[in-house]
Amino acid sequence: MRVSTILALLLAPAAFTADWLDYRGPNRDGLSPEKNLPEKWGGPEKALWRAPYGGRSTPVVHNGRVYVLNPTHKHEDMKNRPLLQERVMALDAATGKVLWEYKYNLFHSDVPAHRIAWSSPSVDAETGNIYVFGAGGSLLALSPAGKKLWDRSLVEDLGVVTTHGGRTTSPILEAEKVIVSAITTSWGEHARAGHRFMAFDKKTGETIYVSAPGGRPFDTTYSPPIIVDSPQGRLLIAGGGDGTVHAIRVNTGEPVWKFFMSKRGVNTGVVVAGSNVIVSHSEENLDTSEMGLLAAVDLGSKGEVKKEQLRWSIPGVQMGFSSPVLSGDMLMQLDNGSNVFAYDVNTGKQLWKKNLGTIQKASPVLGDGKLYVGNENGKFAILKPGKADVEVLDIVQLPGTPEGPEEVTASPAVSDGRVYVVSKEAVYCFGRKGPSTRSALVKPAVVKPSTAPPASVLVSPTDSILRPGQSVQLRARLFDAQGNFIREEKATWSLERLKGEVTPDGKFTPAAGGAQAGLIKATIGTLTGAARARVLPALPINEDFEAFPAKAAPMHWINTFTKYEVREVEGKKHLAKLADNAATKRARSFFGMNSEHDYTIEGDVMGQERRRQMGDAGIVAQRYQLVLFGNHQRLELQPWQAEKERTVAAKFPWKKDTWYRLKLRVENLPDGQVKAQGKAWAVGEPEPAEWLVERIDPIGNRQGSPGIYADAPFEVHFDNLKVTSNQ
């Protein structure tokens, strides 16, 4: 059973139905296989239904249900702003009736209210389960009934970076894996910021691999991945925050080729026409002042692709948001100004151009010979493209408001003879009337194992987070040179920078004692693979940094390497937040289990002043922050830093070069509420009896890792951290 299950999960191509299972459809290329699709909409009044749940995320459709990710309230709704969350909704595909909704919080994120709920859900055709990657770095798995199966806080676990832009990739499913990508600043060899691709077991949420093919990132991005077969094996291809399009082996995460093309992140997806991979962006090129590029890369490339290796290229076209589609050998893509261009995909020769508006974000969908696309001007167009020209079948102007148009940033979804459109105000459905066609769950195909020689060992799960004495069962799997699964194999196990025991069958148990982080290695013949693991102590935690060497950063902490260092002054050690890099002056770092709850964290902080400016320093408990602001001379308690309406603040004089004690207590209350309380006082003075700031959070964070926060244009310092369970 083990062999057949592994073969089915690891090697089977994705099983596609007429359902629209993720952002770019059944084949992840914007193409619908359906026939008899509508050529007219006629406007909102002619829609089959309208549901008032707008957003920016593309809907997905499975088994008579439409799944959308959106905010629970409009960001302009100040009355309900303190209750704003991200929300997954299930709507009846035939009527728009709400079947269920699942809400979750944002935390540890700079994304503002008006830029949340960016990515699209994805549905597993084998189980009907729904996967969502939130703008705050939360990855969730939900059942078809809307029940949470598992979730991961990737900010706390893997150091995922979220920013003001809110740009978030959509999950993609392949065999047993759910895959997302993001900028991360984790620990060990993944400590430096980089755009990384992360694969998780879709049943359990365990990390299968973290692939790090990228260079220094410029932006967060939302490039939708595509998975294709190639001469180099089965590849996942997507843009990254480092201005590069990456191709990795989807089963193992091994990098195959990359094309570095932009000085900003890449948001567009690619399409594959034969051996041509079509890439695009709208930012500054590497070797010219022209903005934007459309080009064809050889699918069979290896290593770093140079400009002179491109099949063809067109600099100066700004196609930076909307991804392309193919109709035979005709490539169609919209530029940022909402112009549709058609090209010969083999030569790059322009065939025609059609203007639809002025601002474009949404990607088009091609089905039944018709092109469906909306834009930020509130228009939705149905076109019939040809080789020489394009015919406009219908253009609908959504009603909008006095404040502006009813923007469409989401791509449409096509399923069961219907087209689903999400605007910032609503979800619309037009097309075939009648009940929905129900979808049978798809059984994974069984594929024979590779008989080629082994070329790599993949050890999983990786990036395990354990307590001292807690075990994890590892497995070592062999893959050939193209990333095809061969077999699971017994290995010789060893440890690097870890203390503990590994049994012959791969069960690792860390030694009792303090925190540690390192590698669990599996050797099979001449091949070696490794899984990463951190061992974090249970509460209470006391950290005075005396056990760490000077100039180092705690290895087991998330997001500290190159940002912090242990400093020794007059024979005593403390942790200093460095101020030598403007790009990394802000950092939120974690050193405990994110399952912790109902606890108190204390710590000493000190700020330096330069040019009459000071930094900020704080402590983190259960996804709440207590921060001393140097320039503003105040203490703030923050559930979601970007949401000032939720912040509780009090004036507090923070003197330079003076140690202060911070204390943050978080307590779970009934009915989902959470009480957070904070205080500060000068070290050496008695602790105040009263809390200085306090908040009862009606949609509280019920668990989370302890940590620290710093914004250091000039150095800030930490010492004597203490984390204890509430008494």
Instruction: Give the per-residue pLDDT at 288.
Output: 86
pLDDT at residue 13, rounded to an integer: 38
pLDDT, tens only, 21-71 = 999 999 999 999 999 999 999 999 999 999 999 999 999 999 999 999 999
- CA nearest to 107, candidates 649, 698, 587, 623: 623
Mean of pLDDT values over 381-386 = 98
Query: What φ, ψ does residue 87 adopt, rounded to 5°?
Result: -145, 135
CA–CA gap between residue 727 and residue 620 (Å, rounded) = 19
| Predicted confidence (pLDDT) per residue in 701-715, tens digit | 999 999 999 999 999
Contact 427, 38 (CB under 8 A): no
Look at residue 141 in the predicted model and tell me its pLDDT.
98
- Compute the distance between CA of residue 27 and CA of residue 10 in angstroms, rounded to an integer: 18
- Residue written as token pair 């709920």: 117
Using a pLDDT cut of 90, give the percent of the chain over it. Answer: 91
Q: What is the mean pLDDT of the chain?
A: 95
What is the reported pLDDT for 12? Answer: 40
Residue 402, pLDDT above cutoff 80: no
Report pLDDT for 7. Answer: 39
Residue 344 parent element (H or E) = strand 339-344
pLDDT of amino acid 289 = 86
Strand-pairing partners, residue 495, are: 520
DSSP 42-107: --GGGSSEEES---SSPPEEETTEEEEEEESS-TT-TTTGGG--EEEEEEETTT--EEEEEEE---
Give the burial class of 528: count Cβ atoms within 10 A of its Cβ; 0-12 exposed, 13-18 middle, 19 or more buried.
middle
Q: Is 631 left (phi over 0), alpha (psi -120 to 50) or beta?
A: alpha
Secondary structure percentages of the chain, helix, strand, coil, to 5: 5, 45, 50
Bridge partners of 710?
587, 617
* Model pTM score: 0.96
Cα–Cα distances in Å, from 672 out to 104, 139, 147, 626, 727? 12, 21, 17, 21, 20
Q: 77-91 burial string, b = 16+ CB within 10 Å, else e? A: eeeebbebbbbbbbb
- Helix count (H) and strand count (E) of the chain? 2, 60
- 677-708 burial, b for 16+ CB within 10 Å, e for fewer? bbbbeeeeeeeeeebbbebebebbbbbbbbbb
> Is 2-431 a CATH 3.40.50.10260 domain?
no
CA angle 166, 171, 99 (to 5 degrees): 90
Q: How confident is the model at residue 75 (pLDDT cuts 50, 70, 90)?
A: confident
pLDDT at 14 (0 to 100)? 39
Question: Rounded to an integer, what distance in angstroms lies between the CA atom of residue 213 and that of residue 145?
Answer: 37
How is residue 156 annotated by DSSP? H
At the fourth CATH level, the homologous superfamily of domain 541-725 is Exo-inulinase; domain 1 (2.60.120.560)
Compute the average pLDDT of residues 185-189. Answer: 96
**How does 260-275 read in b/e, with b if 16+ C-beta sit within 10 Å?**
bbbebbbbbbbbbbee
Q: Which residue has the higher pLDDT, 15 or 229?
A: 229
The per-residue b/e assignment along 442-477, b for 16 or more CB within 10 angstroms, e otherwise, is: bebeebebbeeebbbbbbbbbbbbbebeebbebbbb
How many Å apart are CA 97 and CA 424, to the nearest integer?
A: 18
User: Would you call the peptide bond into 713 cis, given omega within 30 degrees of 0 as the criterion?
Assistant: no
Distance CA 219, CA 240 (A): 8
Q: Residue 227: which of 15, 460, 420 has the closest Cα?
A: 15
pLDDT tops 50 at residue 379: yes
Judged against a pLDDT cut of 80, whether residue 305 lies above it is answered with yes
- Average pLDDT of the segment spanning 573-599: 95
Please state whether 596 falls in left (phi above 0), alpha (psi between -120 and 50) or beta.
beta
pLDDT in tens, 537-557: 999 999 999 999 999 999 999
Cα separation, 437 vs 463, whole angstroms: 41
- What CATH number was assigned to the domain covering residues 456-535? 2.60.40.10
d(CA 613, CA 631): 6
Q: Which residues does 485 contact at the CB level (< 8 Å), separation at least 6?
A: 6, 7, 10, 11, 251, 449, 450, 477, 478, 479
Q: How confident is the model at residue 5 (pLDDT cuts 50, 70, 90)?
A: very low
Averaged over 521-527, what is the pLDDT?
98
pLDDT tens figures, 243-263: 999 999 999 999 999 999 999
Greatest mean pLDDT among 16-20, 159-163, 677-681 lies in 677-681
**Phi and psi, residue 447, nearest 5°:** -115, 140
Q: Residue 11: is its pLDDT beyond 60? A: no
- Calculate mean pLDDT across residues 465-487: 97
CB 488 within 8 A of CB 460: no
- Cis status of the peptide bond prior to 59, with omega within 30 of 0: no
> Token match 């020209």: residue?
389
Alpha helices in 635-726 (DSSP H): none
Domain ranges of the chain: 2-431, 456-535, 541-725
